Every structure is written in structure tokens, then in C-alpha cells.
Chain A
Amino acid sequence: MVATQEYKVIGTRPIRHDGLDKVTGRAIYGADVKLPDMLYGFVLRSPHAHARIRSIDTSAAEAMPGVVAVMTANDMPEAADELVDLGEGAINFSHASDHIMAMSKAKFKGHPVAAVAATSTNVAREAVAAIKVDWEVLKSAVTVDEALAPDAPVILDGWVGDDLGEKSTKPNVGSHFRHEFGDIEKGFADSTTIIEHRYDLAMVHQGYIEPHNGTAIWDQEDRVRLWTSTQGAFTVRTQLAGILQLDESRIKVTPTEIGGGFGGKIPIYVEPLAAILSKKSGGKPVRILMDRPEVFEATGPTPGGWVSVRLGVKDRKIIAGDADIRFDAGGFPGSPVGAAAMCVFSCYDIENTRIDGWDIIVNKPKTAAYRAPGSTHVAYAIECIIDEICEELDLDPIQFRLDNASKEGTRRGDGPIFPRIGNIETLEAARDSAHWNAPLDKNPGNGNVRGRGIANGYWFNVGLKSSVNLSVNTDGTVMLIEGSTDIGGTRASIAMQAAEVLGIRAEDIIPTVVDTDSVGYTDVTGGSRTTYATGFAAYKAAQNLIDELTARAATIWDIPEDEVVFEDGKFSSKSDPELSMTFKEIAGKLNETGGPVSSTGAVDLENAGGGFAVHICDLEIDPETGKTDVIRYTAVQDVGKAIHPSYVEGQMQGGAVQGIGWALNEEYFMSDDGQMVNSSYLDYRMPTSLDLPEIETVIVEVPNPIHPFGVRGVGEPPIVPPVAAIANAINDALGIRLREAPMNPGRILEALKEKNG
């Protein structure tokens, strides 16, 4: 199904408003912030994965010339030990405070234990090196299996997790929950084919280019000003208020441009430290900028762990599904296992399901969101098992998926019923795509072999809160003020929705992302929500602006308001054809007729139905070396309505590339004592444009019925299918099932050796 509504602005491809600043280097990022008398902060981090702090001696650092302030956990305010809503997700401020600066023990390598502000970064680094910590090194556990073992160390002292409604007897269980619908035992008893396997994945990082940073002033009136790179300035404000024990109204957060986030720039890390160091420095601004190893070792990657799935099939229908999902949360509870459990069976209509989710505390960095958090993990398992069922029963992999596809009315694995979704249309578009119908020469003649794989994936589209202000300039342009960090072209996609309503060009809207004092509350750029929710706020603000201008036209023409209509970008009288003004013309008359006109729009939206992505991958493998090259890749996705198709395609391509890296190369390579040994981009290999072919895209448009233009979330679904699609392509090429990611050359060679004896 393709959206058929005709638009003038929506669906076109104007140049993004921030494009010139970005390509000329004029855009201001966090590292560009420079303030008078600014100090430079640096953080002392634990060299151990698990160690108790017996004592810290900062005297030598404090005595060094150029050092202005030194802090430890003793300088952190006592934060509440309770869960607080963050809009997208929740936070325990006590855990967050302990995470930002270790109180009594380090729970992962890189855990901060002290910080210094000095007149230069070099002095700050030297001072940090002079701080003496007396450590009691403890046994560590870095995998879910190690952390659940009977002799596992207690990582988070005093923690008691919930285990199916009871207090867990295992110290490192963050939580264990279950969803169960239908009769799972009968479902499997009635099945004629049952396949079950466990799939393991390594911890991986989002890999954004720009490191975390924060520049803060905590002045003598207890007001904090912060400049930082974040996916959500208001969420930073909430976190900072809870950790610093200040009212939100005393904190102003200015979001700088962002060099990638993908979920990883929702939590805060150095920001409270910069603020506290500023306070201890008498209100001087303090900037802390992480380096790359700090980003890898001490920010929030996505979890490793494993997913075990069992499917039962009868008469080409999946009638039973059982999943056990275990994620490593890091040093504090809170992995995305809840979302993973909601996604694992979402592509299918299965009557009898059971899903167990385990959130496990381990001695690794506290995990954070990463683009469709948890869904890639579970898609790896279920989409490979679907492929295996098709292989065993000699079924077409797309037709089998179509025969079992979830649709409007299907009950999701966690219970709720799907509204209108585009799973079937996306599968049909993949089936009809040029790529799927192109022949693949499986033996190209160079000794290599080729294979093709396909996989489906699902992710939500949350709504939540957004605010937009509009004001009309007398030249007919409109200022658009918003609070949504622009990561993937949302200035354009939001401006275009306002322009469509106002009947003007996208270029005549001037969007600006502002600080938390200057616009209404807006949730994070995450959850695939920004074009949907902030776009909806812009739509409402534009409708309100039309109402204001309609009243102004009535004043100018001295006729009743209900005599004025706005159509096709023009205000006109219903009864007098001589009375007509374009948007630009009425804007030019504002000063003589009552002054400025502005409007606001604010929303708190329900989730939309979510999005489905089907990916097709062709790859070529050298059986001698195990090296894998992706030679053709197509991403098919239901986006509801593509407001700016180029940026939709960019999201689809970017998600696919990140998923390909996850599948083939990326992993936190951990030593036995919990040290990440590849914490640089030289050793943590992410794909570049030189490694991959052009990612082909097929946009499917099944309009979201609760959005005026039909928008669905776009950013997250494309990272869900790649790992499974590549695994299925490897099996097609070599006849081996790799059930551990990354599927790097070593694993391919090992599997070939095992297969060939």
C-alpha cells in the first residue's frame, strides 16, 4: 500500500537548513564551547573491573600548580534511591550518582573515582595521575552466565532484584520477568516441527564520532548553566536536577550540535562532574571532554548476552514460540531486555507464546539504548530460526513470513494488540524488489562463494511530549523554535510539516533548536519519535498560526472572521473574490494591523503502531580466509509517510551499516579480568564507505492513522534485521549456521573446519 495523498512540500527533498554550517565546519559542537576563564576537567577512572576503594588521597593533586578543584564521590549530593520517569525510560538517581562517581567500589573498568579541574587539560591529566587510590581488587563477572553462577561475586551491594514477583536469591539479577499467552505446552505438543537454538551476541558500542562532553557553570546563586552534546536537553535537565539535588528551574541546558548519539547520548556522564568542579572553583566554567577510550569503557554500549528461541510449526503455521532473553546490564540494572521481549515475536502472529527476560548485573559499563535497543539481538535468534524452518520444510522464506505475518489485530508477545501496521506490505515489497528477483551467481569463479539472506525486524514508534513555537516575520518567513536535537535531518522534516500547513516553502521556515529556558518541554530525540511527535507539534502550531492570521485578515478587510478562508496558501473572503492575500502578503501587513503574530503547538502523543524493516543481503566469502564482503544490500521499510525521502533513506542506510558492522566485526573484546582490550577505532573495527556497497532502499508507505501526514518512526527499525540477514546469507553461501556474533573470519573458519572435518 502506498500513500496517495498529494502534498506540495511533504515528499520533496529540500536542502537541510543546517547543511551549510555542517559541511563548512561552522556548526558549534560541544568541544567548540569556550568561555572566559574556562577550566579543563579530567577524570580518574578505575583500572579494575571490580574493586573496593579503601581510600583516596588527593593531596598531591590539590597541591599542583594550576589545579583549581578536585572532587570525589564525597562531593556528590545524596540522591534519592527511587525510580524516576525520564519520558523515554526511567532513572534511579542513587544508581546514576554512584555510576557517575563511584561511592565505595568500582563496578567496571573506567568507573570514575575522582576528577580535577585545572588551567589546562595537561595539568588536569597530570593531577589525576597524582591521585592515589588504595584498591582491594575483587573477583569480577563479565558475562551473564558468570554473573548467574553460584560462586559469582556480589556486584551491586544491597541490591535485591525482582524474580517473577519474588525477591531474587541471586545477587546479580537486576530483574526476571515473563510474558505468557495461550497454552505454550499444548502449542509445542501439537507442533510437527520444532527448532530451538541459542544465539550469543557481544557487547557493542553505538560508535558515534563525537565524544561526550559538558561545559558547566555553577554560579554563586546556585544556578547551573550547561552546554552539552545530548539527544535531549530536557532529559539532561531532569537527570542533572536529580543528581545535583537542585530544582529544574535552576538549571539551563543548551544543546550543542550533536555528532551522533543513537541512544548513547540520553544518559549523562561528565556533566554533573563539570558542574560540581565549577562550584568548587568558585563558579568558573569547567569543560570536560572524553577521549575515545573513555567513551568505549565508561559510557553506555548495548548489552551482550544471549537469546534462546524455540518455535513450533504445524501446517506451515507457527503455533508456539518460547524465548529466553538474557542481557548483561553492566554495573547497574537497566538493560533493554524489556523492549527485546516486546519485539521478539512482533513480526509474527503466534497463538501460544512465552517470553522470559533477564536483566543481569555484570562488571562492564552500564548499558544504554542503541537504536531499537534489544530488537537486533532477538531478531538474530528468531529470524535465523525462521530461515532454518524454511530450509527444513523447503518453504519460500518470504512466503512463510507472509503466511505467519503479524497484522492489525495480532496480539504482540507482551499482550497488546497491534493497530494498523505495515508488516505485510513491507514483506510484499521485499518479495517484489529488484534485488530479491535478481539472480545470484553463487560460485563467481574466483574460489569465493556467495549467498543471499533475508530477515525481518520490528521496532516501536513512541510518541511522548514535544513543543514548537512559531513566529511570523514581515518578509513572509517563519521562525520555528523547537527543543528536539537534530540528529538525522529533523530540522528539515519538522519545518516541512509546518510549511505544508502554511502553504509556504520549506526554505521559508527557519528552524532553531534552543535551550531549556526557551521552549516548552520536549522529550528526547529517540524512540523514533521526533519527526512524528515534534512534527505533530509543528503541525498544531501551524494550524494555530493560521487561526491567528485568519483573524488578522478579517481585521484588515473589516469582515467577520468566519468570512475568511485559508486554502492553497491564500487567505480570501468567501463572498468577495477581490479580497485575497498570500501568506507573504499578510505577513507584510502585520506591523500596521496589530503587530506580531506567533503561535505554539504542544503534544503528548500515544505510540504509533511501529515500523517493520525487511533486509536482503548478498555477500561473498573467501573460504580460505573467512573474509566476508557484502556485495549487495537492500533495506525495505514501512515509514508511514516519508516527509523528506532523502533523510528517510539516510536513516535506512545508516541503520543497515551499523547492523552490518555488528554482524561481521564489532565487539567489546574483554580479557578474563574484565578489561576491554580494543578501546580505539583502530581495534574496534566499524565499517566505512570503503567496505560496503551502496545500500539500496525501498520506501513503503502505510500511513500511521493517528498522525495528520501518516508519519511513522524511521530511525530504529533498520538496525534490527542486518545481523540475522547476514547470518542467513552466510548459511546460504557455506551451509554453516553461525550462532555467535560477530561472525568474523575466525568464527567462519572454525565453523568450516568443524563442518569439513
Chain B
Amino acid sequence: MARVFIPFALRKMTGGATDVQIAGATLREVIDNLEEMFPGIKERLVQDDRIKVGMEAVVGEQPTREGLRAKVAEDAEVHFIPHIAGG
């Protein structure tokens, strides 16, 4: 199962848990399963069938470019971080 890290602002929804083990072969499945465990959390992460604008999903080591279709390895870490903007 993937290790999903919960953004600090959403930890109230997870009872303070910083990370949880979630099943799912894709990022979409992982988030759907996260929603089952913590109702309401999906709408804080997803909008219009994509990761919310201003946020990036890290699957493994780097922000994925495949959105919700991204494959999630069995032991992968998943993070939701602010979008990086450089100069």
C-alpha cells in the first residue's frame, strides 16, 4: 500500500494522522480510498477531475505529470505540495 502524507491543513480531517497507508494502483484510486476513510478530503485535493490548481501531487520522488492517472507503486510515497514556480 502507498504511504500517503496528509498536508498539515487537512490533518484535522484525519484525526491528526500525518500519514496513512492506502491501497490503490493509480492516484485516482488512492484518493478515492482516502475519501472513503476520511469523507470530505477529496474535494480539498481534487477539482474538475484533476489535482487542484496551485497544488502538485508527488508520487514517488517527483511531482507527477500524469495527474490522477499516475501509477502508484506498492510502496510509493504520495505527497500533496504547493505548486513550484521559478524565475
Contacts and interface: CB of A to CB of B under 8 A. Distances in A.
Interface of A: 82-85, 88-90, 162, 164-165, 177-181, 206, 261-264, 266, 336, 338-339, 341-342, 368-373, 414-419, 459-460, 462-464, 526-529, 604-607, 716
Nearest to B86: A527
23 contacts: A88-B84, A165-B10, A165-B12, A177-B8, A177-B82, A178-B8, A261-B87, A263-B86, A336-B85, A341-B82, A342-B82, A369-B87, A371-B87, A373-B86, A414-B82, A415-B5, A415-B58, A417-B77, A460-B84, A526-B87, A527-B84, A604-B65, A716-B87
Given A165-B9, A606-B62, A606-B63, A339 B86 contact: yes
B15 interface: no
Contacts of B54: 83, 90
B56 to A, nearest CB: 9
B53 A419 contact: no
B70 to A, nearest CB: 10
Interface in B28-87: 53-54, 58, 61-65, 77, 79, 81-87
A416 B81 contact: yes
Given A416-B62, A606-B63, A373 B85 contact: yes
A527 B65 contact: no
Interface size range on B against A: 20 to 34
Contacts of B85: 88-90, 336, 338-339, 369, 373, 526-527
A220 B53 CA distance: 34
Interface string B1-32: 00001011110100000100000000000000
Given A162-B9, A416-B79, A606 B65 contact: yes
B8 A164 contact: yes
Contacts of A604: 65
Contacts of A459: 86
Contacts of A416: 58, 61-62, 77, 79, 81
A82 B81 CA distance: 19
B81 A460 contact: no
Which of the listed residues B53, B54, B86, B87 has the most CB atoms from chain A within 10 Å of its own CB? B87
A90 B53 contact: yes
Closest 7 CB pairs of A and B: A263-B87, A527-B86, A89-B85, A165-B9, A338-B82, A369-B87, A178-B8
Contacts of A373: 85-87
B40 to A, nearest CB: 12
B87 A370 contact: yes
Nearest to B51: A85
A257 to B, nearest CB: 19
Contacts of B9: 162, 164-165, 177-178
A419 B61 contact: yes
A263 B87 CA distance: 4
Contacts of A606: 62-65
